[in-house]
Amino acid sequence: MSTIGFQGRVAVITGAGGGLGRAHALLLAARGAVVVVNDLGGSLNGVGGDQSAAQKVVAEITAAGGRALANCDDIATPEGAQRLIDAAVQAFGRVDILINNAGILRDKTLIKMEPADFETVVRVHLLGSAWCSRAAWPIMQKQQYGRIVMTTSAAGLYGNFGQSNYGAAKLGIVGLMNTLKHEGAKFGIRVNTVAPVAITRMTEDLPFSRMLTEALPERVAAGVAYLASEGCELTGQILSAGAGYFSTVQMVEGRGVHAPAGEVTPEFVAAHWTAIADRSEARGYDSAGEALMAAFAPARG
């Protein structure tokens, strides 16, 4: 198998001043990419800012012989996301790869959470991913080439106590990918998502973190680098990655049950719940249209 490289490619990585984003930046740079390291340098809950976080990663890249640019724009706003992409184009002439990695945490149960804390987390994770993708899109469209990697989480895919804001944003990112994979197909833009498991400052205080001694950010970056590579023609994939483990994740729908016209009642649903919930013949769909076709198709024998 040929070595995956990024010579001549320009990668923009958000939240790259530490943790997963730093690992992505260092790996892509080591394999030839020019990297724009975006990071506000704020606290875990998104307060404050420090330009040194991005600058330190740039220094690591340049010390190893690579090329990189530090950027501290706030990607949670359309204007900040646009400035980030504009800076990349002004410095390097193009954007080939966008890794939407930036995120913050403000954990509490929903009833105890301030509305501002819910909105801020959604703004950084979900809207930040949307605004950066939107800003990079015309460039990738003109190039007829682009690789976008989103970042979801098990908290979004499966839920986690005290993370309603984070979980909602992270599953929203999957929905964003599922639409962009269609909108980018004819332009050579491939959009995929990573669901990382790694010990970073966002996870180091969680109870299970002590069990994940091998869950280094670098072991997630390998999967992200593949999704960001020219040879990866996949789109719309969710890759769970961590501690050397890789698996795809997919939303699926069971075979289902069609109720006769005269029996579409709550009682029918209750009486047939076991069959309705049976996932032994589950399948995934590539689009909402496919799912609707299955729902309205004649009952399978």
The domains located in the chain, with CATH, are 10-248 (3.40.50.720), 261-296 (no CATH)
Beta strand residue intervals within the chain, DSSP E: 10-14, 34-38, 68-71, 97-99, 146-151, 189-196, 238-242, 245-249
CA 210 to chain CA centroid, Å, is: 25
How high is the pLDDT of residue 294? 83
CA separation for the pair 121, 99 (Å, rounded):
18
CA neighbor of 229 nearest in space, from 140, 146, 139: 146
Do 115 and 130 contact (CB within 8 A), yes or no?
Answer: no
Known active-site residue 166: yes
Structure tokens at 256: 């289902």
Residue 1 — pLDDT band, cuts 50, 70, 90?
A: confident
CA separation for the pair 207, 273 (Å, rounded):
36
Residue 301 — pLDDT band, cuts 50, 70, 90?
A: very low
Kindly name the residue from 145, 158, 166, 285 that is annotated as catalytic.
Answer: 166
Residue 298 — pLDDT band, cuts 50, 70, 90?
A: low
CA separation for the pair 225, 171 (Å, rounded):
22
How high is the pLDDT of residue 199? 62
CA distances from 182 to 137, 155, 165, 189, 223 (A): 13, 25, 27, 9, 22
Whole-number percent of the chain with pLDDT over 70: 90
CA distances from 234 to 147, 187, 193, 212, 281 (A): 10, 14, 11, 29, 24
Average pLDDT of the residues in 23-35: 98
